[in-house]
């Protein structure tokens, strides 16, 4: 028996109010779940139409189940493992504009349609010079949306009340600002007229966002167990962690229409998402990147094992609380609460997060996620954050390519690998040559965007730690910090 509205007794139909570009795991586990909660707790009375943004997608599978799917939320809650599941019934249908372009445009004629959501990957919000307004559909997401918006503008003769709130979830800087810029660029190129542009600027809103929830996706390894537990087949099961955070630069009108915070969801309506993005990148992503080489060279393979280890766990927690948090500008209590949640998320017993899966492109990741904390710490205190410097030394040691007798499968930009191989070629076994290795790596401006040897005290600190790691091994070296 497959999940469908015939087999799900609680099935309800709602007016279609949300047009969503993307039908994948993240949106269904994050945004759609939130609208589902609004229906249950705030009488939102709305459903989502999921648009397949590329030629190959999953709307057919979604439609086979009448938009229904089971959501599992699994992880630590108040320090204890908890797994819950629920049938989500907020998606009314899916549309493939490559097969049904007229049906796609017809959604613009619906007076109830009010919200545009998207998650088309980081590459989705991009200008394609080959897009034309007569294509059915145009290639890029911004072009598809421009055609849809213009059709709505024309259908309702520029009625201001038929504007929409556009809320992209793509993980790029200023996602909504970039999307609007491209739409205006297309409007000018396609000669859509001043009236349309004015309507876009006055009747529609564009909200920059930051999204945060770990979504492993379809639980292939345990689907037989899930099917037995549910008593029905669900080809669209999705799993995620309990933690969720959506930060939205929202106008007051949108805050009133979508009262997510009032029903207990972690949605923050703010004037600027920038400090929250810095918080996530520095604490969550930065901790991941700083942790990987230290824990892996220690002999550990997963994130959970690392944070629960008495030595490595202490190292990364102190790096976060003593060296990263002091470089950020949000209230300390708020930063420490977020950091505590990050540690709990890293300890999720339901997610096996391999360190080597995070190790991909470690050097560019270190530059964007950890280096800003080192430089800001230096600026604010005059000193070098020793744990983060130790992590940089460990990263250099990691790129020597050996864990004991085991070869490490290094995976990075070719230029980085060449640079590190050349640096390690200078090592002849003595301390002076290790300093040469460090100076060579820190001078790699293509990665660091600067010569890090010019940061007073950094070369000396990294060299000291690298000598310690190389001579004594990670397990003894980490005790010094």
Domain CATH number, residue 209:
3.40.50.720
Position 7 in a domain? no
pLDDT tier, 314 (very low <50, low <70, confident <90, very high otherwise): very high
| Residues 200 and 343 reside in one and the same domain | no
**Backbone conformation region of residue 388, classed left if phi is above 0, alpha if psi is from -120 to 50, else beta:** alpha
Considering the domain architecture, whether residues 351 and 237 belong to the same structural domain is answered as no
Contact 283, 339 (CB under 8 A): yes
- Domain encompassing residue 315: 274-480
Q: How confident is the model at residue 269 (pLDDT cuts 50, 70, 90)?
A: very high
What is the C-alpha R_g of the chain? 25
At residue 390 the predicted structure's pLDDT band, cuts being 50, 70 and 90, is very high
| Shared domain check, 384 and 249 | no
User: What is the band of 217 on the pLDDT scale with cuts at 50, 70, 90?
Assistant: confident
Let me know whether 208 and 278 are in one domain: no
Say whether both 200 and 290 belong to one domain: no
160 and 305 together in one domain: no
| pLDDT for 357 | 86
Query: Is the residue at 364 inside a domain?
Result: yes
- Going by pLDDT thresholds of 50, 70 and 90, the confidence category of residue 351 is confident
Are 23 and 31 spatial neighbours (Cβ–Cβ below 8 Å)? Answer: no
Domain stop point among 222, 249, 269: 269
Q: What percent of the chain has pLDDT over 90?
A: 92
Give pTM, 2 decimals: 0.87
Largest CA distance in the chain: 77
Q: In whole angstroms, what is the distance from residue 481 CA to residue 478 CA?
A: 6
Average pLDDT rounded to a whole number, residues 423-434 = 92
Q: Assess whether pLDDT exceeds 80 at residue 369.
A: yes
- Find the range with the poorest average confidence among 190-194, 208-212, 374-378, 427-431: 427-431
% helix, strand, coil for the chain, step of 5: 50, 15, 35
413: pLDDT strictly greater than 90 = no
Q: Which of 269, 284, 301 is the last residue of a domain?
A: 269
User: Is it the case that residue 158 has pLDDT exceeding 80?
Assistant: yes
3 inside domain: no
pLDDT band at 299; cut points 50, 70, 90: very high
How far is 320 from 326, CA to CA, in rounded Å? 9
Q: Looking at the structure, do residues 113 and 235 belong to the same domain, yes or no?
A: yes
pLDDT in tens, 316-330: 999 999 999 999 999
pLDDT value at residue 200: 98
Domain count, the chain: 2
Backbone angles phi, psi at 21, to 5 degrees: -90, 105
CB contact set of 332 (below 8 Å; sequence gap of 6+): 325
Asked whether residue 119 is domain-assigned, the answer is yes
Label residue 103 by pLDDT band (50, 70, 90). very high
Does 4 reside within a domain? no
Predicted confidence at residue 360, as pLDDT, reads: 86
Q: Is the pLDDT of residue 178 over 90?
A: yes
What is the pLDDT at residue 208?
Answer: 98
Of 269, 291, 307, the one marking the end of a domain is 269
Residue 171 has a pLDDT of: 87
Return the closest-CA partner of residue 125 out of 177, 196, 71, 90.
177
Across the chain, mean pLDDT equals: 95
The answer to whether residue 122 scores a pLDDT higher than 80 is no
- CA pair distance 273, 250, nearest whole angstrom: 10
Cβ–Cβ < 8 Å for 145, 183: yes
Same domain, yes or no, for 376 and 351? yes
CA distance 148 to 154: 10
Statement to judge: residues 261 and 286 lie in one domain: no
C-alpha–C-alpha distance, residues 252 and 422, integer Å: 56
Ramachandran angles phi, psi of 198, nearest 5°: -65, -40
Q: In this model, does residue 163 exceed pLDDT 80?
A: yes
d(CA 75, CA 361): 27
pLDDT in tens, 74-95: 998 888 899 999 999 999 999 9
Q: Looking at the structure, do residues 79 and 126 belong to the same domain, yes or no?
A: yes
Whether 323 maps to a domain, the answer reads yes
DSSP category for residue 412: S
Q: How far apart are CA 203 and CA 476, in angstroms?
A: 63
Strand partners, 239: 72, 217
| pLDDT at residue 79 in the model | 81
Q: Tell me what pLDDT residue 218 has.
A: 86
Q: Are 206 and 251 in contact (CB under 8 A)?
A: no
Residues 381 and 239 in one domain: no
pLDDT above 90 for 105: yes
Q: What is the DSSP string of 219-260?
A: -GGGHHHHHHHHTSB-TT-EEE-S--EEEE---HHHHHH--G
- pLDDT for residue 466: 97
Share of residues in the chain with pLDDT > 70 (%): 100
Within a domain: residue 73?
A: yes
Shared domain for 307 and 345, answered yes or no, is yes
Distance between CA atoms of 373 and 286, rounded to whole angstroms? 9
Categorize the per-residue pLDDT at 426 as very low, low, confident or very high, splitting at 50, 70 and 90: confident
Within-domain flag for 6: no
CATH number for the domain harbouring residue 386? 1.10.1040.10
For 103-135, give one letter per residue: b (16+ CB within 10 A) or e: ebbebbebeebbbbbbbbbeebbbeeeebeeee
């Amino acid at each position: 028996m497959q999940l469908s509205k015939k087999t799900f007794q609680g099935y309800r139909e709602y007016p279609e109010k949300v047009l969503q570009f993307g039908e994948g795991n993240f949106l269904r586990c994050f945004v759609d779940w939130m609208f589902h909660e609004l229906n249950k707790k705030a009488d939102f009375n709305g459903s989502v139409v999921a648009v397949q943004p590329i030629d190959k997608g999953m709307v057919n599978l979604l439609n086979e189940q009448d938009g229904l799917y089971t959501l599992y939320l699994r992880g630590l809650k108040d320090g204890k493992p908890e797994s819950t599941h629920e049938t989500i019934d907020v998606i009314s249908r899916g549309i493939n504009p490559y097969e049904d372009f007229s049906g796609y445009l017809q959604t613009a004629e619906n007076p109830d349609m009010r919200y545009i959501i998207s998650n088309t990957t980081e590459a989705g919000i991009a200008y394609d010079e080959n897009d034309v307004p007569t294509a059915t559909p145009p290639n890029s997401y911004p072009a598809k949306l421009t055609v849809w918006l213009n059709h709505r503008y024309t259908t309702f003769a520029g009625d201001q009340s038929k504007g929409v709130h556009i809320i992209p979830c793509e993980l790029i800087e200023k996602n909504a600002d970039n999307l609007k810029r491209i739409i205006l660029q297309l409007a000018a190129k396609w000669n859509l007229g001043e009236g349309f542009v004015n309507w876009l600027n006055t009747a529609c809103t564009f909200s920059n966002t930051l999204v945060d929830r770990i979504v492993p996706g379809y639980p292939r390894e345990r689907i037989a167990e899930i099917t037995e537990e549910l008593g029905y087949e669900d080809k669209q099961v999705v799993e995620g962690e309990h933690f969720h955070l959506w930060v939205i630069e929202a106008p007051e009108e949108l805050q009133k229409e979508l009262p997510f915070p009032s029903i207990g969801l972690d949605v923050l309506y703010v004037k600027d998402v920038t400090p929250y993005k810095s918080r996530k990148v520095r604490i969550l992503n930065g901790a991941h990147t700083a942790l990987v080489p230290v824990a892996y060279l220690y002999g550990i393979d997963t994130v959970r094992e690392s944070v629960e280890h008495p030595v490595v766990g202490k190292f990364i927690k102190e790096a976060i609380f003593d060296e990263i948090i002091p470089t950020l500008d949000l209230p300390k209590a708020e930063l420490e609460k977020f950091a505590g949640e990050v540690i709990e998320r890293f300890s999720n017993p339901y997610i096996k997060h391999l360190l080597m899966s995070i190790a991909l492109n470690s050097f560019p990741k270190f530059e964007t996620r950890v280096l800003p904390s080192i430089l800001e710490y230096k600026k604010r205190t005059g000193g070098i954050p020793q744990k983060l410097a130790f992590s940089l030394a460990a990263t250099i040691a990691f790129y020597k390519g050996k864990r004991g007798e085991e070869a490490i499968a290094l995976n990075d930009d070719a230029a980085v690998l060449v640079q590190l191989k050349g640096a390690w070629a200078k090592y002849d076994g003595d301390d002076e040559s290790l300093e040469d290795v460090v100076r060579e790596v820190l001078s790699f401006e293509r990665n660091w965007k600067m010569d890090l040897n010019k940061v007073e005290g950094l070369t000396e600190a990294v060299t000291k730690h690298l000598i310690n790691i190389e001579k004594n091994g990670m397990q003894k070296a980490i005790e010094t910090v």
